[in-house]
Amino acid sequence: MTNKYVDFISDKHFLNCIENLYNSYIKAKEGISKKKFYSNKIDTFKLTFDAKFNDISEDTVIENEIMRQIDKSTNNSIGTFHEQILGGIKGFEMGSLSGYDIKATDDTLFADIKNKHNTMNSSSAESLFQKLAHYADTYKKAKCYWVQILAKNSFCDSWVGDINGKEYSHSRVFKISGDRFYALLTGQDDAFFALYKALPKAISDFLAGIDKSKDSETNSAFSEIKKAKDQSKRTVFDQITFENFGYYLGFDKL
User: Does any domain span residue 193?
Assistant: no
Whether 54 maps to a domain, the answer reads yes
Return the higher-pLDDT residue of 202 and 165: 202
DSSP strands (E only) in 106-165: 109-116, 143-150, 156-158, 161-163
**Least-confidence region, from 61-65, 163-167, 175-179, 199-203:** 163-167
Q: How confident is the model at residue 214 (pLDDT cuts 50, 70, 90)?
A: low
What pLDDT does residue 1 have? 61
Give residue 165's domain range. Answer: 89-188
Does residue 188 surpass a pLDDT of 90?
Answer: yes
Smallest CA-to-CA distance from 33 within 229, 224, 221, 223 is with: 221
Banded model confidence at residue 220, pLDDT cuts 50, 70, 90: confident
Per DSSP bridges, beta strands 173-177 and 156-158 are antiparallel
Does residue 99 form part of some domain?
yes
**Are 98 and 180 members of one domain?**
yes
Which residues have CB under 8 Å from 111's CB, separation 6+?
Answer: 100, 101, 102, 103, 144, 145, 146, 147, 181
Q: Clarify whether residues 118 and 149 are in a common domain.
A: yes
**What's the average model confidence in pLDDT over 138-143?**
96
Check whether residue 94 and residue 60 sit in a common domain.
no
pLDDT digits (tens, 9 = 90+) for 9-28: 999 999 999 999 999 988 88
**178 and 203 co-located in one domain:** no
Q: Which of 134, 155, 188 is the C-terminal boundary of a domain?
A: 188
Establish if 180 belongs to a structural domain. Answer: yes
Q: Is 100 helix (H, G, I), strand (E, B) or coil?
A: coil
Residue 197: how many CB atoms within 10 A of its CB?
12
Q: What pLDDT shows up at residue 121? A: 84
In a domain, 194, yes or no: no
State which of 147, 163, 188 marks the end of a domain: 188
133, 168, 188 - which closes a domain:
188
Do 94 and 172 reside in the same domain of the chain?
yes
Q: How many domains does the chain have?
A: 2
pTM, 2 dp:
0.85
The answer on 123 and 59 residing in a single domain is no
Note whether 159 and 113 are same-domain residues. yes
Within this chain, do residues 170 and 141 fall inside the same structural domain, yes or no? yes
Q: Answer positive or negative: Cα dihedral of 105, 107, 109, 112.
A: positive
